[in-house]
Each structure stands twice: as C-alpha cells, then as structure tokens.
Chains A and B, each alone.
Chain A
Amino acid sequence: MSAEPIKFYQVGSFAVGNRLLDITERSAQSDPSRPNSINSGHRACQGCGEALGARYALDAAMRATAGDMVAVNATGCLEVFSTPYPETSWQIPWLHSLFGNAPAVATGVAAAMKVKGRETRVVGQAGDGGTVDIGMGALSGMFERNDDVLFICYDNEAYMNTGVQRSGATPPAARTATTQAVGDHPGNVFGQGKDLPRIAMAHEIPYVATATVANLRDLEAKVEKAMQMRGARYIHVLVPCPLGWGSASKDTILLARLAMESGLFPVFEAEYGEVTSVLPVRRRVPVTEYLRLQKRYAHLFHPEPDASTLERLQAMADRNFRRYDIQEVDV
C-alpha cells in the first residue's frame, strides 16, 4: 500500500476527515493554497471522473515538483472541456498537440528541459483511447527509451469525447455506440481489450501503478511517489463516466470503488516489472453490484438476467483476486 497507513476518523461515510489530521499528513487537495492545476469553470459533465482524477493527480504532481512542471495532453474529453479557446482551465504550462502523440510530445518537452539544464518535470496525460489505442506506439516508444515522463491514463473505458464508441479498454459485454446491445452476444466481445498496466510492466519501467477516483489519497500518493522517481512512469486511473456508462452523476466515486472491490479493476503498484503492492479491499462484492448501476450493462439484467455472461464477468474478477492476491481488510 503506497499511502501512509493512517487510521482515519470516519464521518458517517468512507470520506477522509482531513481536518482532523496533522497538516503534514493531509492531502494536496486539502491545502487551501493548492495550485488548482485545472481550476473550476471547465466544461466537463456533472460527475465526470476524469476531471476529478486529473485535478488530484496534477495537484499532487505539482506539490511533488514544487510547481516546476509541464503537462502534455492528448486530444480527448480532458483537452476539449478544459480549453475552449480563448478560455483555459490550466494554471500550469500545458500543451496539446494531437490524439495519438502525447507520449512523444512529452518526450520532446523533457528533452528540451534536459538540454536547457532545467529541472522542470513532465506529465503526459490521455484518455484510454489516446493511451491504449491510437497513442500506444508512441507510449511504448517512450517507455522503451525510459524517457523522464510520468504518463497518466484516465481510463473511462471507451471513446467518450466522440460519443461513446468502443476502445481497446472497453470491458467485455459493455454496450457502446459501436458494440450495441443487440444480437446473440450484445455489447463488447470477450477476449479482447488491452491491459495497459501489464503491457507497461512488460517494458520494465521504473514505476507502474493503477488507481481509481474512489481512493483519491492513494492516487495522490502514487503520483507523488512517481514524481520522486526518474525515467518512464505510468499511472492508470479508472475514471467512471456518467455519460458513457449510463450511471448517475452521484455514483462516480461509488462505481470506482465497486470496480475495485469487485476485483474487476485491481489497484496495485509495480516497479521494474514486478508487483510491489496491492491495495486491499474493505469488502469483496459480487460484480453484479457494480454492473447493475450502469446502463451500459442493462442488457445483462433485462429482460432476463444473462447468467452465463455474468458468470464470465465474475470469473474475470475472481481471476484478478487470485492474480494480484487481493486481500480483504476491514480498515
């Protein structure tokens, strides 16, 4: 577990009672003088997981680098909702070039900083389409060269910016605009999809981690840890998308937590290709608890429950529990 094992005082929910903590133990986000790397007024949807994830990740990176940082962004929701010209939500130096080249652009910025003898660090960011599909060649190249870039993927499991089409990160059975809930096997097919954290680990880069917006303290800690390291680093953050998932805006954090607690999205860290820590779950839940809240899986429950598909999805979750040895710990 990357975050300090602090016993939090609960306030009737799973939220962290930050104000009861010593100031040195508080999150970057609780700091009234936090940088607000992406500030309010942007045009993300209500309940957007990506806006939340980016805010926490970048503010944590800013804290870790004492504000000496540049962000590079792929095309996608995050880019579109944050910079409707002439406005911008970015309070940090920020560059957007194309959809598929953010890792290479980040390499270029890092090379420029190095050649100029500056300590300025670089964070690249993209959605799952920009990371696992169209940007994968550039990302793999950046990993392989071990360029000094932290790349963050905000994974909402489809191309949400263009209207919810399937990506290489879309899970099996999920309905998208290009994997419609029709025919004998409604939704996305089984057996496809890229597990980018594991692909990143295969490059044996210094640091790979996954996180969700359900555990923002963990996300912050992982970003801060990554920024203490040099070379290619990768963090894959699950960010629920109310629009694309057909979920209630209020359920974004709940869904992220259920994704983890069901085992469908294991949260772990790896260094140089080996898993070094796995976040335990407070209580293990069946996948149906997670799936039921999302309209993209409605065809698994209506008109009749699709028992065999649900079983296959449960088997995937169970395999993650085994593969990562995810513990149940009631903290």
Chain B
Amino acid sequence: MEILEKMKEIQDKELKKLNIDELTHLFMDNINEQNIKLIEGIEFLVQEDFNKFKDNMNYVIDTNTEVQIKKKFESKIFKSKLMFSKADRLKLFNKINDIKNIGEFLANKMLLYKAVFPDEKFKQQILSILNSLKNISNNLSKAVKLIGSDLSKAHDICEDIKDERRKMRNDEWLLLNRLYNYDMDYLSRTFIYLKELIEGIMILADHIKNFSEYIQFLATKYLIFD
C-alpha cells in the first residue's frame, strides 16, 4: 500500500528525473504490490470474507498507476543511446507488465462467481499455494532490483523461485486430485471455478518462473568469469 500511495504523490516531473533502472524498480514494486493484493484477495475468498475479496480484486482491476511509469519508461528507452543492453531491458520491463495482465485477467475471472470451498484441508492446500506464490512474487521483485547491481545474487534468488515453483506444482496436482475426487456434480460451477482458480494461480506462477529463467539468462549473458 505504501508504494502505491507514494506513487500517487509522484508527479510526472518527478518521474522524469528517474533513470531507466529506477523506473524499472518502481514499476516492479508497483506490480508486485498489486500481485500481493491479488493473492491476499484470494485468501479472503478462502476465508469467505467476500467483501474484502471483492475490494482486492477490484483494486487490481482498477489500479493503473503503473501506466504512467510504463509510458515514461518507453519514451526514455526509445530515446536512450549507446546501450548495448537496451533490448534486454525493454524485454524485462514487458515481462513485468505481463504479470499485471495475468493478474488482472485472474481477478476479473474470480469476480464472476463466489465459491465456497469444499473443506478445511482444501483451504489449507490453497493457502499453502498462495503463500508460495507470495514468496516467489516477492523474490522476483528482489531479483529484478538486483539486476543492475548484482547479477549473481539475482541468479541465486531465481534458483529459489524455481525450487518454490516446483513445490507448487506438486501441491497443484494434490489439489486437483482432491477436487476431482469430491462427491459433487461434475459440471457444477463450484468445480469449474475452483479448477480455474488453481489453474490461474499456476499460470501466474509459471510466468514468474519463466521470468526468473530470463533473469538467469541475462546473468549468463552478461557475467564474465575468469
């Protein structure tokens, strides 16, 4: 929340003063903040606090403070000269932007229906996956910010993200297995909703994992070892 409030205060003039690196960090913070909001929103859904769930989803959908940063970044990178990493920095920025797109899509989808979760065990497993998603989202934010100063550290953090994501994949199969074995109507809205929720979370996780692999690619490309 802090960052978003800070963002509101940041005027166009102040954005102009930021360099490409700083704009990327600000953008990453902004998107991560929204991502965490999305995850917390789903947690509210699990707790059946539908009002807070709705607030968070709408927050993710309605927030567009990142657009201002994106525009500034695009105009700066377009005009910037003598940067051999220009293409990579642009790609990096677009990958951050994709997180927002996936999150927004998931938030919209989640608002279509309000499901009540089958049992406590299912809830715990979903919360566990959400916790992992929160971890990898925060770690990704750290890794992105380290690209400018320490690619080795960024590389290591991305390794952690991949490990966590692997763990999430196992949890996903357990959850789906559980879901398919419930004694409920196969075509029920709840079933479809929960299935799509799990898949939506995993799409986001997959994107973060792919993103972390891209950061590792950058580390391999730019770091030279003697």
Interaction A to B: no
Q: Which residues of B contact A (CB under 8 A)?
A: none
